[in-house]
Amino acid sequence: MAPKNKKIVMYIIIAVVLVAVATTATIFALNMMGKKDSSNQKVVPTKESADKLKTKAIEYLKNGDKTNAKKYLLDAKQQYTELKDTNNIVDVDAQIWMIDHPTST
């Protein structure tokens, strides 16, 4: 092979390697962006899940565990707020108020 042909073959090999590296880097970057976007998707609560939290809180209240009851009520309130369920927000707020302001009898 003549020296001029060797030089052309070497340039072709370098070009192919550079294209392969650029393609791999682009695919990797696109995959990372896709994973990032899917992890930022917010899960929308359902009324059923919020109701389960409120029910669990009521069970804790019946057993005298106000700390866990309040935790579950706050979680339920957050979900009801996202659902814009005004009636249940008011109900949960009232129960939280009653926990924070116990009556002395």
Q: Are residues 57 and 20 in the same domain?
A: no
pLDDT at 15: 92
pLDDT at 33: 77
Q: What is the DSSP string of 24-80?
A: HHHHHHHHHHHHHHHHTPPPPP-HHHHHHHHHHHHHHHHTT-HHHHHHHHHHHHHHH
Number of domains in the chain: 2
Q: Are residues 33 and 53 in the same domain?
A: no
Q: What is the crossing angle of helices 66-83 and 86-100, to 10°?
A: 160
pLDDT at 102: 85
Q: pTM of the predicted model, to two decimals?
A: 0.60
DSSP 3-state of 3: helix
Residue 23 belongs to some domain of the structure: yes
Q: Which residues of the chain have pLDDT under 50?
A: 37
Going from the C-alpha of 66 to that of each of 5, 13, 45, 72, 92, the distances in angstroms are 84, 72, 24, 10, 14
Q: Are residues 26 and 69 in the same domain?
A: no
pLDDT tens-place string over residues 6-27: 888 888 999 999 999 999 988 8
pLDDT at 40: 56
